[in-house]
Amino acid sequence: MENDVPFFENFEDFFRALNISPSKFEGIYVDKLDKLWTYPSFEVPPFKHNFYGIKLLIKGEGVMRIGKWKQTLVSPAVYTSPPNQVVSCLMKDDNILEYALAISVKFVENHLKLKNFISVFDYFQADKSAPFVVELTELQDLMNVFDYIYDEYNSDDRTGSVEIMASAILILFMKIKRLHLKYVVNNNILEDANSLSKVDTLSNRFLKLLQEDNQNESSETIEYNIAYFASKLAVHQNYLSSKLKSETGKSAKEHLDAKIIHNAKTLLLQTDLPIKKIASNLNFKESSHFNNFFKKQTLLTPKQFRKEVY
C-alpha cells in the first residue's frame, strides 16, 4: 500500500491535478514538452499512475526515478513508466525537450497486437523499467515514428486515427525493444531479463497479477502470499510454485519477495517516509521484521540502502 504517494487512476484525474488540457482521444495522450508539468519548478514529486508512459528525452539533463531505479540521464534517452509505478524526476535546468506518450490499460486491452507485445516485453515490467541513454541517430529514428503519431493525434481528419496510432505505437515499441536489448539486457543492467514469451499461460497470469499491484487506494489489506495468488488463479499453491520454478527459474515465493523488495526500494528512494511507516505500508507487523527481511534480500538495512542511493 502506497497511500502516501498520489495515485492517478485515470487520465482525467492526472490532467486535472496538473492543470493540462484533456486528451483528444480516449485512452491516449501525445505531447511535446519544452518544460516540466510542474514548471517553473525543476522537480516532479513522486506520483503513481494507472497507464503506460513513454518519454523520449530530446534535450535536458536530470535525475530520473522510476520505481526502484535512480539514474542520472543526459539526452538523448528513453524511459518508461508502467502502470502502478512510482515516478519522479529532478531536472538540472529548464533547457528541456521531451516527447511524451501515454496510453491507458483499456487502450492496450482494446488492441490485441499491442497487448500481446507488451505482455512479452520485459521493459514494461515494473522491476525492469530502467531508463537508458541512446545514440542521437537512434533517438532520431524513434522521433520520426513519434512525429507520425503526433501528427495523427492532431489531425483534423480523424477517420481511423485510433487504429493508425495504435499501429504506429506498436512500431515505436518494437524499435524501443531493439534498443532495450542493446543497452539494457546485453549490458546486464537488469537481473534475470528473460523473455516472458518463454513462460506458460499460468505463469503469465501470475506475473500479470503481481505487476498489477493492487496495493494503492484500496481499503482492503491484501496479504501478498502464495496462498492468495493460488486462490486467485484457482490452483494449488504447490503446483503454482513448481510451475513457476520450472518456467521462470524462480518459485512463487522468490517472485513475491522480489516484488516486496521492489516496492520497498521505491518508497525508500522516492519518499522521505519513516522506515516504520514503510514497513507498515508493506504489511509488516513490526518494523524489525521488515528490517530483517530487507537485509536478508539485499545485504543492507533499509537505512543503509537509503543512505547509499542518496
Domains of the chain from N-terminus onward: 7-185 (2.60.120.280), 199-309 (1.10.10.60)
Quick one: average pLDDT of 200-221? 64
**d(Cα 289, Cα 296) in Å, to the nearest integer?**
11
Alpha-carbon gap, residue 204 to 246, rounded angstroms: 13
Mean pLDDT of all residues in 276-287? 91
Q: What does the pLDDT read at residue 139?
A: 95
Q: Which residue has the higher pLDDT, 152 or 17?
A: 152
- % of the chain exceeding 90 in pLDDT: 46
Q: How confident is the model at residue 230 (pLDDT cuts 50, 70, 90)?
A: confident
pLDDT of residue 26: 94
Residue 219 has pLDDT above 60, yes or no: no
Q: Measured between alpha carbons, how far is 83 from 211 in angstroms, rounded to an integer? A: 8
- Mean pLDDT over 278-285 rounds to 90
* Alpha carbon distance 3, 134 (integer Å): 35
pLDDT above 50 (res 234): yes
Tell me the C-alpha to C-alpha distance, in Å, between residue 182 and each of 23, 132, 135, 136, 192.
Answer: 33, 10, 11, 15, 15
* Other C-beta atoms lying within 10 Å of the C-beta of residue 178: 11
End-to-end CA distance of the chain: 23
**What pLDDT, on a 0 to 100 scale, did the predictor assign at position 190?**
45
